[in-house]
Amino acid sequence: MRDAQQIIDTAHEMADAARAAILPLFRNAALVTDNKRPADFDPVTEADRAAEIAMREVLARRRPQDGIVGEEFGSTPGDSGLTWILDPIDGTRAFLCGSPSWGVLIGLSDGQAIRYGIIDQPYTRERFEGGLGRARLIGPDGERPLIARSGVALPAAILMTTFPEIGSTQEAQAFRRVVDSVRLTRYGLDCYAYALLALGQIDLVIEAGLQAYDIAGPMAVVEAAGGIVSNWQGGPATEGGQVIAAASADLHRQALRLLNG
């Protein structure tokens, strides 16, 4: 891709700006009880908006020609053929609880596919990036490559999802068939689950009811690590909805069969 390095630099500057906007609002009880603020002051909403504004400012300065789709402020058209897909805080409930499994999601689409993405966890200072030749975790302990693990059979696999009450009744039944076939199922990690899959720690993430901005960044990271992301029918997951991420093609095929069984 043309300008790949400048695109990557821009994405990191956006993630830095989002971190700076969000962290003062995370685990800040004083803000909620501050009398000078309105009674309905909500630090998560505040942080969500501040972070998207901060990322849009970076784009306006560095790449005004690109389009933007943001969770908070909708669509801004561009004319470069590239669109940034932003979820300033994925996992607002985790944020509310003080649990560091929420993340800032950045994805870059060229209209055909997601070409690059970031999952950033500001509190743990972990940044997972994938695409344009990169697949790495940059964290407080330095860098390490992201490599999804292979060779794990379904009965030995670890599955993650955000809510045990996943989707509709039919979706919950399909999901339950996978739960009953794997070694371990864990809940509640939001976008951090995709990061753990890219790190080679877990094998499957299955969710329903996602938005496009929930999956763009994670998809780039997982695919760059060698994993597979699709919808439950095996087609593109770029629009969100029912999403499955698998560490290997074998697991992906087996889990799809169960979801559609």
Binder to its own copies among 64, 81, 164, 235 (CB under 8 A)?
Answer: 164
Considering only residues 79 to 138 of the shown chain, the ones binding its own copies according to CB under 8 A are: 93-94, 96-101, 123-125
Q: How far apart are CA 71 and CA 215, in angstroms?
A: 12
Binder to its own copies among 184, 236, 239, 260 (CB under 8 A)?
Answer: 184
Q: Which residue is listed with tokens 């901005």?
A: 213
Give the nearer residue to its own copies in terms of CB position, either 79 or 141.
Answer: 141
Give the nearer residue to its own copies in terms of CB position, either 136 or 149.
Answer: 149
Binder to its own copies among 21, 138, 189, 216 (CB under 8 A)?
Answer: 189
Q: How far is the CB of 249 from its own copies (least distance, A)?
A: 19
Give the nearer residue to its own copies in terms of CB position, either 82 or 247.
Answer: 247
Q: Does 192 contact its own copies by CB under 8 A?
A: yes
Please state the three-class secondary structure of 140-188 as a single string.
Answer: CCEEEECCCCCCCCHHHCEEEECCCCCCCHHHHHHHHHHHCCCCEEEEC
249-259 helix and 169-179 helix, angle to the nearest 10 degrees: 130
How many other CB atoms sit within 10 Å of the CB of residue 169? 7
CB 203 within 8 A of CB 177: no
Q: How far apart are CA 40 and CA 198, in angstroms?
A: 38
Q: Does 41 contact its own copies by CB under 8 A?
A: no
Binder to its own copies among 149, 174, 217, 238 (CB under 8 A)?
Answer: 149
Piece of 1-9, 13-21, 64-72, 192-200 that binds its own copies (CB under 8 A): 192-200
Piece of 168-176, 199-207, 218-226, 227-235 that binds its own copies (CB under 8 A): 199-207
Q: Does 202 contact its own copies by CB under 8 A?
A: yes
Give, for 256, the enclosing helix (H) or strand (E). helix 249-259
Q: How far apart are CA 102 and CA 209, in angstroms?
A: 17
Give the CA distances from residue 85 to residues 59, 148, 219, 240, in Å, rounded to whole numbers and listed in that order: 12, 24, 12, 12
Q: Which residue is listed with tokens 């630099």?
A: 9
Determine the size of the site formed for its own copies (CB under 8 A): 30
Q: Does 201 contact its own copies by CB under 8 A?
A: yes
> If you ran DSSP here, which 8-state letter would residue 192 be given?
H
Binder to its own copies among 104, 119, 196, 224 (CB under 8 A)?
Answer: 196
Q: Which residues bind its own copies (CB under 8 A)?
A: 27, 29, 93-94, 96-101, 123-125, 140, 147, 149, 158, 160, 164, 184, 186-189, 192, 196, 199-202
